[in-house]
Amino acid sequence: MVTSGIQSVPSDSPIGDVAYLARSEHRVPALVAVTDRPRSRSELCELTDVSSSTIRRTLGEFEDRSWIRKEGYRYTATRLGEAIAAGMTELLELVETERKLRDVWEWLPETVGECPVETWTELTVTVAEPDSPYCPVNRFESLLSRTSELRFLRPEVALMEPVLDELFGLVDDGAAVTLVDRPSCHTYFISTYPERSSAMLSRDNFTVLEHEGLPPYGIGLLDDCIVISCYERASGTVQAVIDTDVPAVGEWAESVYASFESDARPLEPSSLEEHHSLEDPPE
């Protein structure tokens, strides 16, 4: 006889209760639902999309644990049930964010990874998927359309080229825009879009600065929102965009951006001819 060597979880232990809630997808939503307001059994069946017999059994198990009580034909959460529902909701939100972060962890700035775990659920993580590779770019474009000021450290070609129309419109509407990037990226845009680049560079509200030693990630400051773009270092493709208004992340982003902006140099008008003559995109 072969055994797996994995011990079963005791049902009368804290982890047993967590395992009980996690074993069926309807249990946490059902418990959360009765914390909002009293619910009838038929309401819970509709909300959780399970049969009447299943929800009856679940409610009986909740009552055995003193998580709910019956009031007439409706069920409502006890204070114990409210605490469990809140804890499980927080845990699920944390795990959902962690599942996204683990996919891009190697590209994240160390400071973001070191943020208190409690702030992770306040990060919106948009990851490139095999069937939706432009999800991060689309997320950035939606944020860009709502901003009145943009400062961006390392706005790579893969992020900015798809939103060039939105950026041009932003500048045309008078938004203050400052981009700090590598000379090779500026070369690409000026040589590929000479007329549009010339039009933007002629505007007082559009500033381009150059810096050779930028970090491997991008930092965008859009009004009160911070955007972090995670690039695959070999190809420069956008693997994820993270946006947040967490104050601690905002303070870090302001500090990093300011340190590189102060060392950056303006794009000299005399160098535009040199940029025009170089047509290869940055590596």
Contact yes or no for 77/35 (Cβ under 8 A): yes
Same domain, 24 and 139: no
Same domain, 59 and 119: no
Same domain, 166 and 257: yes
Same domain, 146 and 247: yes
pLDDT, averaged across the chain: 88
The residue with tokens 């590779």 is: 133
Confidence of residue 283 (pLDDT cuts 50, 70, 90): very low
pLDDT tens digit sequence for 240-277: 999 999 998 999 999 999 999 999 999 865 555 554 44
φ and ψ of 153, to 5 deg: -100, 120
Same domain, 144 and 255: yes
pLDDT at 49 over 70: yes
Q: Largest Cα–Cα distance of the chain, in whole Å?
A: 82
Query: For residue 72, what are the domain limits?
Result: 14-85
Same domain, 262 and 140: yes
154 vs 182: CA distance, rounded Å: 7
181 vs 217: CA distance, rounded Å: 11
Q: According to DSSP H, which parts of the chain are helical?
A: 14-23, 27-36, 41-48, 52-64, 79-104, 110-113, 117-120, 135-144, 157-160, 164-172, 183-192, 194-201, 247-263, 272-277
Contact yes or no for 181/220 (Cβ under 8 A): no
Asked whether residue 94 is assigned to any structural domain, the reply reads no
pLDDT for residue 275: 46
Contact yes or no for 144/170 (Cβ under 8 A): yes
φ and ψ of 123, to 5 deg: -100, 130
pLDDT tens digit sequence for 145-178: 889 999 999 999 999 999 999 999 999 999 999 9
Asked whether residue 39 is assigned to any structural domain, the reply reads yes
Asked whether residue 97 is assigned to any structural domain, the reply reads no
Asked whether residue 93 is assigned to any structural domain, the reply reads no
Token pair listed for 261: 């902006």
Q: How many domains does the chain have?
A: 2
Asked whether residue 266 is assigned to any structural domain, the reply reads yes
Contact yes or no for 217/104 (Cβ under 8 A): no
CATH number at residue 123: 3.30.870.10
Contact yes or no for 92/28 (Cβ under 8 A): yes
Same domain, 48 and 119: no
Same domain, 36 and 80: yes
Confidence of residue 134 (pLDDT cuts 50, 70, 90): very high
Mean pLDDT of the region 115-141: 87
Same domain, 63 and 184: no
pLDDT for residue 276: 47
Same domain, 127 and 201: yes
Q: Which of 54, 85, 116 is the last residue of a domain?
A: 85
The SS3 of residue 270 is: helix
Q: What is the pTM of this model?
A: 0.72
